[in-house]
């Protein structure tokens, strides 16, 4: 009986590995370097929050440019019918390039050259099953972009609604790691 239980546990762990591995890759199959020496901003969005995200994220990224953050956008595809998920991933790939172009424009508007690490700082993840969103307390069809800030080692510093909590995110990123638990910004259920 113990052997069967151990085998079931092992199979469960092996089954979880591909799902976890997929979380660490973007729509281009690139590994996301969270916890590898640079702070990270993780944004949780969906089709309904796309415009709000685009309206505010570029200025936010510019405001934290000195920290050279990695930016990860998890796009929730739970609302997309199965037949269209491939097409949605293609749109996310296209949006990735558009976002880089818009970010370069923001730097130029401020009279600065875009940083050389910009190309390797943006990762977009297509989340078909929505596990990362669920772990943030976001149900299918959520109406608010949510973000969290991770320190260079990958520990969470702050989380909350975006852009409402952007100032707190900037402060968390600039002040760096702390010993206390992550900041929970008003409006978050977790």
Q: Is the dihedral of CA 125, 55, 84, 141 positive or negative?
A: positive
Determine the length of the chain: 190
Q: What integer is the mean pLDDT of 175-185? A: 54
pLDDT (0 to 100) of residue 79 = 87
Q: Terminal CA-to-CA distance of the chain, rounded, Å?
A: 39
For 53-108, how does the pLDDT look when each residue is reduced to its tens digit (9 = 90+)? 999 999 999 999 999 999 999 999 998 888 888 899 999 999 999 999 999 999 99
φ and ψ of 161, to 5 deg: -70, 145
Whole-number pLDDT of residue 190:
41
Q: What pTM value is reported for the model?
A: 0.80
- Spatial separation of the C-alpha atoms in residues 178 and 39, rounded to whole Å: 13
Q: What is the pLDDT of residue 177?
A: 64
Q: Which domains, and CATH codes, for the chain?
A: 2-184 (3.40.30.10)
């Amino acid at each position: 009986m113990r052997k069967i239980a151990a085998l079931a546990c092992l199979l469960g762990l092996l089954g979880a590995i591909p799902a976890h591995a997929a979380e660490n890759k973007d729509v281009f199959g690139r590994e996301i370097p969270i916890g590898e020496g640079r702070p990270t901003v993780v944004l949780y969005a969906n089709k309904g929050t796309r415009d709000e995200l685009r309206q505010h994220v570029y200025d936010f990224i510019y405001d934290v440019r000195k920290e050279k953050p990695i930016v990860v956008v998890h796009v929730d595809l739970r609302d997309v019918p199965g037949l269209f998920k491939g097409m949605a991933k293609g749109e996310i790939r296209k949006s990735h390039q558009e976002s880089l172009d818009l970010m370069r424009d923001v730097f130029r508007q401020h009279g600065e050259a875009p940083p050389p690490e910009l190309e390797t700082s943006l990762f977009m993840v297509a989340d078909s099953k929505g596990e990362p969103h669920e772990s943030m307390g976001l149900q299918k069809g959520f109406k608010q972009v949510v973000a969290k800030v991770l320190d260079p080692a990958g520990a969470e510093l702050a989380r909350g609604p975006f852009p409402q909590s952007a100032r707190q995110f900037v402060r968390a990123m600039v002040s760096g790691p702390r010993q206390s638990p992550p900041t929970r910004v008003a409006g978050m259920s977790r």
